[in-house]
A and B are shown apart, each in its own frame.
Chain A
Amino acid sequence: MRSETDTLLRKILSDVLGLKPGQADAFDADTGLFGHLPELDSMAVAGLLTEMEDRLDIVIEDDEIDGELLETYGALLDFAEAKRTA
């Protein structure tokens, strides 16, 4: 079963990427994000992180943002889950 964080994170990515309902269901842990989706530039990633802070009620520090965090859906979800249980 999908966790609440997983559901929320898929919705945030759908909003940023302008996906239709259900399209984000196809994301798996290996789905590539930053560097794989041309529309996901630095401005879009910044919006994504701010939205994650608002909707997941977490604070993301500058030094936590690196290429690995944003490379795959799985990495981003692990980060969000860890932040929410911290």
Chain B
Amino acid sequence: MKAASYPCPLPHCGSSSEYALTFDTGRTRRILLIPALLDEANRMRRFSVEVMRRLDGAGFDCFLPDLPGTNESTVDLASVTPSDWHCAMAAAANGFGATHVLALRGGGLFWPEGLPGWHYGAVKGASLLRTLLRARVIAAREAGREETADALLAQANERGIELAGYPLSAAMVRELSALVPTPRPGVQVIDQQLLGGSPLWLRAEPDEDGAQADALAAVIAMALNA
């Protein structure tokens, strides 16, 4: 497991160099993981890396890049839009010579064109935002303030908003709301039933499940070795 970086031209934030966690020994099958988004990224991080360890053990190189504005990135998230994330994942796929993609949850909304792979826990951008808005409304109510998700969304579409500690630009909110998982040739959508257990992104606190990581890595290894 090594830290690496990839060059990343961004339409809205200039050029940056972003961090990636990699298992790279120059093997022919090279899998780019696209992380889950925003608050789900924390809860899915350990699972993502556990899957990578198994893929490495099964003989595949794999790469987990940061999305600009998140994790170790030096880019200000408030200036990032979904098209920056799309460009970043295309740049990562290119930079690491990815042959396949494994996207987790909302990460699949930023699929690099033309690559086959697997999308686990597909979700609409609007659903992710709705849950974040709702969390903010509940927290406000606890603090004795009355907010509504509809009013917050209207404000967010105009001026941006901070949700769960993430400063999101108006463009991020508007464009993310419109993104939906698209069926793609060569991409298998993996739902929770295939892995068993319950989804780790739902957990109130970050958790792990080795059996789920085994199952996801096995689906990929069987497909690649078929």
Contacts and interface: CB of A to CB of B under 8 A. Distances in A.
A16 B164 contact: no
A78 interface: no
A17 interface: yes
Interface stretch (B22-30, B48-56, B130-138): B130-138
Contacts of A42: 135-136, 138-139, 142
Given A17-B204, A18-B205, A50-B127, A45 B199 contact: no
Contacts of A37: 204
27 contacts: A11-B198, A14-B198, A15-B203, A16-B203, A18-B198, A18-B204, A39-B205, A40-B204, A41-B204, A42-B135, A44-B203, A44-B204, A45-B138, A46-B132, A46-B135, A47-B131, A47-B135, A47-B201, A47-B204, A50-B127, A62-B148, A63-B148, A65-B134, A65-B137, A65-B138, A65-B141, A67-B141
Contacts of B148: 62-63
Nearest to B192: A15
A14 B207 CA distance: 13
A49 B135 CA distance: 10
Contacts of A66: 141
A62 B150 contact: yes
Given A49-B134, A50-B131, A62-B148, A43 B39 contact: yes
Contact of B202 (A15, A40, A41): A15
| Secondary structure dominating the interface of A | helix
Interface of B: 39, 127, 130-132, 134-139, 141-142, 148-150, 164, 198-199, 201-205, 207
B203 A18 contact: yes
A9 to B, nearest CB: 14
Interface in A10-49: 11, 14-18, 37, 39-47, 49
Contacts of A71: none
Contacts of B136: 42
Contacts of A46: 131-132, 134-135, 138
